[in-house]
Amino acid sequence: MEVGGGSGPGWDKLLYMFEEGNARMRQILGGKGANLAEMTRIGLPVPPGFTITAQACVYYSATGSFPSGLDEALDDGIRALERRTGKSFGGEGEPLLLSVRSGAAVSMPGMMDTILNLGLNDRTVRGLAGATGDLRFALDCYRRFLTMFGNVVLRIPHDRFEDRLSAEKARVNARYDVDLGPESLERLCGEYKQLIRASSGSDFPQDPRQQLAMAVRAVFESWNNPRARVYRQVNRIPDDLGTAVNVQCMVFGNTGSDSGTGVVFTRDPATGARELYGEYLPNAQGEDVVAGIRTPRPISQLAGDMPQVYQELVRLCELLERHYADIQDIEFTVEHGRLYVLQTRAAKRTAAAAVKAAWDMAQEGLLSREEAVLRVDPDQVVKLLHRNIDPRAKLEVLATGLPASPGAASGRVVLDADRAEELGQQGERVILVRPETTPDDIHGIVAAQGVLTSRGGMTCHAAIVARHMGKPCVVGCDAVRVEPDSRELRIGERRLREGDLISIDGATGRVILGEVPLVEPELSPEFQGILAWADEFRRLKVRANADTPQDAQKARSLGAQGIGLCRTEHMFMDAGRLPVMQEMIMAETEEERKRALDRLLPMQQKDFEGILKAMEGYPVTIRLLDPPLHEFLPNVEELAVEVAKGRLLLELEGGDAGPSGGAGAAGEGGARVGRSSRAISPGDLARKEEVLRKARALAEFNPMLGLRGCRLGIVYPEIYHMQARAIFLATAALRRAGIDARPEIMMPLVGHPRELEVTRALVQQAAEEVRRETGVDVTCPIGTMIEVPRACVAADRVADHADFFSFGTNDLTQTTFGFSRDDAEGKFLPIYLEQGILRDNPFAVLDGDGVGVLVEMACRLGRKTRPDLKLGVCGEHGGEPRSIALFHRFGLDYVSCSPYRVPIARLAAAQAQLRETVGEREKVGE
């Protein structure tokens, strides 16, 4: 029977029975609803129900009311469930009870709200007791429903219910909820209804249909609760998707020892190992497992407790994993020995598990190699590079809990999420320590280096969220006692204060006193295999940004195919070179400047020999000096203070030796100050004064747009000439030694074709000089960074003098937006992101609508002039997956990023190619 018709803004249907949907309807039914429909379709034991579409939520969010026809559709859906089950919604015989759950198109575990046992009231609870012959069970369901309805729908803090529950357990000396008898539960139900009336101003609603309408509204509203908004922002989920609402017949895991509830993963979500992983609780409902109130049992124990149920669960896990060709996260309930599946979804997993599962499933024939490459999230790959505790370190292990999410972290203890966020924003490394986390702690988990809880199991909230974020997490550490009133933490006999340093090891569950030494990870064979496949599929080459031979070697070991940006200014900051660089800057004449440059040349040559040798056979793009010269001089304000102090000390010293002999107290005091504090000679002071004068002369109102980049090479051509000679001498020396050195020289900040023409001629002159001196042809490609909008719009003329373009997207973003990055990120960008003015930080993700348009224009114009023009990018966007997809689309030849992001870029480049290929196939199919 078809139900759920209605009128709304462009939809024919607001509600689908499970049997009417399928897995392809995620945008309409949400992920949970689509999977419930799919499992129903293939005949799995799914309790019947229906799904209210996500579009109804979108309408409600915009208007504050249900779309026309939804009330009638709900009535139709309830009647269909009554016919299917033979139960009555609100009936006093065998009442129909419902769960009401959220379910967006993109999984957001724990971020929105759920209500169980809906339909109970003072009458139906007696009907449930009569139908089941178990008054305790019926009252337990009622007190759970009152708690959830009061918290989720009426927004009464959960702690107020928990306080009354704890007080009742203490009164009757009960350890767990299951130890409470019918009298205690009935007393609690009465107290809860009194609490609801006192807090909300109204009695608890006894009409089940009113309960349902209120619950649906509450789930719709939970789409925009603070934790859901934070989660969407962190995970880049659009705000306009809305959530579907799944209304499903209740099955009960709290009906006795032959019942229970649990969560099972078809493979280990931490490692990817092919084995069932999960937990269950006997005689419990679903929220008991994730809440961490009772310690769950490992899923393997179900084999002994309920062998037939366990075998059926194993069969269902195998079937669902094959059907979806992915690791499944399955919620189940056992009611009187019968297994029901309440949900399946693609499992959240660690990066290591994602890689291993993709590789293994390809070997097992569940996935093609292309599908395996697409299955691994490039953003998550960076978490594979987790640091671990140095095995040689001596550790003071305070306690051991459950290893919920791998990696190690050190930080200061904080006991609440708000404090974690506050300190995290100040740059402090913190470990969030809680009895257990709730979805409301999401902002603190985001800010923390890691999470430690005293309660909960491997599938509790903290474990799931930390694994997804790639943060170390230890849960269920019984030895930890959080004392929020005193802001202290007790671990066994040791007492720690908030702010003390601890470390956690998410791979072993250890909690360690103080900060620990960490070691870098190694890439697994499975990951190397996935990357090898990615290399076969991708068109974009991947280079690295590296300034030292050590960085170049690391980049090469991670698969870099060259250096896309070698910043020469970093080479001058060494303590042994900086004085010579400052001497060059202080020079008053060209001759003096050349003498200093002659001393710098062999140093530069050695630098270039090292990095060219490390990348033998691969191109190394060397950017000539870019920053303004004053950056190599001391800070003007600090230097001015030093000069002022020096003058004062010399004056005081001079006063002590003055003509009058200085016999008075003041003179003696001055002499004492002079003798004890003298730190500068007249000659040193004169030199500092000269440096201060030069630094002030070089200071600029806006250094980013001042005398820097190619402008330096034009105003002081001897600087670029020296650097070019050093590059070519290094190249000649290496080539004579049989080493395949491949330099490329890049001019920074070119905005006008003549700038590149002039500096190119300068470099070519140096190449000819070295050729004559060494007999080695050192000709190399010469190109420019594209960092200002004028270079983009004049790219056809700039290309007349360029062998390649490399987009410096960091500065191009600044100059396009008119933002100073440091000021923007520190002052107003967070507000822009919060208010939705910008969807992403444009310095992290390429602004496709603005900066991206300029990049695409420059590519098109440049290749119009020179079809063989090589195109690359060397800004930070070169290692960001969504930006890489744009660069692929624009036709770039390579991206360049930091060494540790090279594997991410390799994978993202392959996925861009594969998605383009799939898109082309779909067009052909049309």
pLDDT tens digit sequence for 690-728: 878 877 887 777 777 888 899 999 999 999 999 999 999
- Alpha-carbon span 105 to 109, nearest angstrom: 12
pLDDT at 668 over 60: no
pLDDT digits (tens, 9 = 90+) for 369-414: 999 999 999 987 866 777 778 777 889 999 998 888 878 999 999 9
Q: Look over the chain and give the mean of its residue pLDDT values, rounded to a whole number.
A: 88
pLDDT at 678 over 80: no
Q: How confident is the model at residue 689 (pLDDT cuts 50, 70, 90)?
A: confident
pLDDT at 922 over 50: no
pLDDT at 794 over 60: yes
CB 652 within 8 A of CB 670: yes
The H helix count followed by the E strand count for the chain is 36, 31
Question: Average pLDDT in the 776-786 region?
Answer: 97
Predicted pLDDT of residue 279: 92
- Nearest 5°: CA angle at 601, between 597 and 604? 125
Lowest mean pLDDT among 375-389, 521-535, 789-803: 375-389
Catalytically annotated residue among 859, 874, 877, 888: 874
pLDDT digits (tens, 9 = 90+) for 22-63: 999 999 999 999 999 999 999 999 999 999 999 999 999 999
Predicted pLDDT of residue 107: 79
Q: Which residue has the higher pLDDT, 389 or 169?
A: 169
SS3 of residue 904 by DSSP: helix
Q: How confident is the model at residue 7 (pLDDT cuts 50, 70, 90)?
A: very low
Decide if 461 is catalytic. Answer: yes
Q: How confident is the model at residue 658 (pLDDT cuts 50, 70, 90)?
A: very low
Burial class (CB in 10 A: 0-12, 13-18, 19+), 663: exposed
Handedness of CA 416, 421, 426, 427 (dihedral sign): positive
Output phi, psi for 395, to 5 deg: -120, 145
CB 306 within 8 A of CB 470: no
Question: Average pLDDT in the 787-808 region?
Answer: 98
pLDDT at 665 over 50: no
- Alpha-carbon span 307 to 337, nearest angstrom: 10
Predicted pLDDT of residue 662: 37
Q: How confident is the model at residue 1 (pLDDT cuts 50, 70, 90)?
A: very low
pLDDT digits (tens, 9 = 90+) for 456-507: 776 567 776 777 577 899 988 989 999 888 899 998 888 999 999 999 998 8
Of 810, 768, 750, 786, residue with least CA distance to 859:
786
- Alpha-carbon span 652 to 669, nearest angstrom: 9
Catalytically annotated residue among 386, 443, 461, 877: 461
Amino acid at 630: H
* Long-range contacts of residues 378-382, Cβ cutoff 8 Å, at least 24 apart: 378/881, 378/884, 378/904, 378/905, 378/907, 378/908, 378/911, 379/881, 379/904, 380/350, 380/351, 380/354, 380/470, 381/351, 381/355, 381/527, 381/903, 381/904, 381/907, 382/351, 382/470, 382/900, 382/901, 382/904
Burial class (CB in 10 A: 0-12, 13-18, 19+), 625: buried
Predicted pLDDT of residue 292: 57
Of 713, 803, 722, 711, residue with least CA distance to 769:
722
pLDDT digits (tens, 9 = 90+) for 866-918: 999 999 999 889 999 999 999 999 999 999 998 888 999 999 999 999 999 87
DSSP string, 127-193: HHHHHHT-HHHHHHHHHHHHHHIIIIIT---HHHHHHHHHHHHHHHT-SSGGG--HHHHHHHHHHHH
- Alpha-carbon span 509 to 425, nearest angstrom: 27
- Alpha-carbon span 297 to 262, nearest angstrom: 9
Q: How confident is the model at residue 220 (pLDDT cuts 50, 70, 90)?
A: very high
pLDDT at 666 over 50: no
Write down the pTM of the prediction: 0.76
Give the count of beta carbons closer than 10 Å to the beta carbon of residue 677. Answer: 13
Structure token pair of residue 12: 């024919």
- Alpha-carbon span 449 to 432, nearest angstrom: 8
- Alpha-carbon span 580 to 583, nearest angstrom: 5
Decide if 792 is catalytic. Answer: no
Predicted pLDDT of residue 16: 97
pLDDT at 669 over 80: no
pLDDT digits (tens, 9 = 90+) for 544-585: 999 889 889 989 999 999 999 999 887 777 667 888 888 888
Burial class (CB in 10 A: 0-12, 13-18, 19+), 594: middle
User: Whats the size of the chain, residue-wise?
Assistant: 926
Predicted pLDDT of residue 891: 97
State the DSSP code for 67: P
SS3 of residue 690 by DSSP: helix
pLDDT at 293 over 80: no
Handedness of CA 817, 819, 821, 823 (dihedral sign): negative
pLDDT at 431 over 80: yes
pLDDT digits (tens, 9 = 90+) for 56-113: 999 999 999 999 999 999 999 999 999 999 999 999 888 999 999 999 988 787 677 7
- Alpha-carbon span 811 to 823, nearest angstrom: 14
Q: Which residue has the higher pLDDT, 194 or 839?
A: 194
pLDDT at 672 over 50: no
